[in-house]
Amino acid sequence: MTSTSVSSAPVVTEDPSEAGHLPRGPRRRGVRSVVTSRGLLAVVLAAIPLGALLLAWHLLTEYQVVWWLRFDKIPGPAEVYSTLTTQLSSGPFYNDLLVSLRRILLGFSIAAVGGVAIGAMIGRSRLASALLRPLIEVFRPIPAIALVPLAILLFPDGEQGIVFITFFAAFFPVTVSTIHAMHALPPVWEDAARTLGAGRMSILRYVVLPGAMPGIFSGLSVAMGVAWICVISAEMISGQFGIGYYTWQSYGLLDYAGVVVGMVSIGLLGWSTAWLVERLGRRVNRWLPRAAS
* Residue 32, Ramachandran bin (φ over 0: left; ψ between -120 and 50: alpha; else beta): alpha
Among 113, 150, 192, 280, binds another protein (CB under 8 A): 192
Residue 163: phi, psi to the nearest 5? -60, -40
Q: In whole angstroms, how close is the CB of 207 to another protein at the nearest point?
A: 6
Is residue 285 a contact residue for another protein (CB under 8 A)? Answer: yes
Is residue 264 a contact residue for another protein (CB under 8 A)? Answer: no
Is residue 287 a contact residue for another protein (CB under 8 A)? Answer: yes
Among 35, 110, 136, 193, binds another protein (CB under 8 A): 193
Q: Is the dihedral of CA 109, 111, 117, 120 positive or negative?
A: negative
Q: Are 238 and 148 a contacting pair, CB within 8 Å?
A: yes
Q: Which is nearer to another protein, 133 or 283 (CB)?
A: 283
Whole-angstrom distance, CA of residue 104 vs CA of residue 159: 11
Among 12, 41, 59, 142, binds another protein (CB under 8 A): 12
Q: Are 144 and 119 a contacting pair, CB within 8 Å?
A: no
What is the DSSP secondary-structure string of 32-99?
HHHHHHHHHHHHHHHHHHHHHHHHHHHHHHHTT-EESEE-TTSPPHHHHHHHHHHHHTSHHHHHHHHH
Q: In whole angstroms, how close is the CB of 101 to another protein at the nearest point?
A: 31
Q: Which is nearer to another protein, 15 or 62 (CB)?
A: 15
Residues 197-216 that bind another protein (CB under 8 A): 197-198, 202, 206-207, 210-211, 213
Among 6, 50, 127, 201, binds another protein (CB under 8 A): 6
Provide the binding-site residues for another protein, judged by CB under 8 A: 1-3, 5-6, 8-9, 11-13, 24, 186, 188-189, 191-198, 202, 206-207, 210-211, 213, 285, 287, 289
